[in-house]
Structure 1
Amino acid sequence: MVQIADLTVLGKAISGLFGINGVWSSFLSSEIITLAVILILARSGRKKNVFSGERI
């Protein structure tokens, strides 16, 4: 969560400094999407044996 706060602040500062809009927000959006996918996978509770395909 600290990374999201850092990326928000630094993204705004860098975009204002260089005048490039939208490029720096991609880092923040990728962090949010990654967090959402991790939370969804963690809550799904499906555990599978990778090698045999059987559920544990």
Structure 2
Amino acid sequence: MHIDCDNMHLFFELFIKYKIVILEYYNIVILLLNPAEKKRRKEIEAQKDRL
């Protein structure tokens, strides 16, 4: 099977987009499973707001 460069480029673009989506979902799942992590993240956000 021949794969040309355009298809590879498209594949990598999709991969990068989906990687970002997967990371977002991963963060959400961690927050749902771990209330302590959620609290810690809220504190970090609060610190960012103060800066």
- Give the structure-1-normalised TM-score: 0.43
Q: Using CA pairs under 8 Å that are at least 6 residues apart, name the structure with larger relative contact order, 1 or 2.
A: 1
From the two aligned structures, give the one with the greater helix fraction: 2
- Give the structure-2-normalised TM-score: 0.46
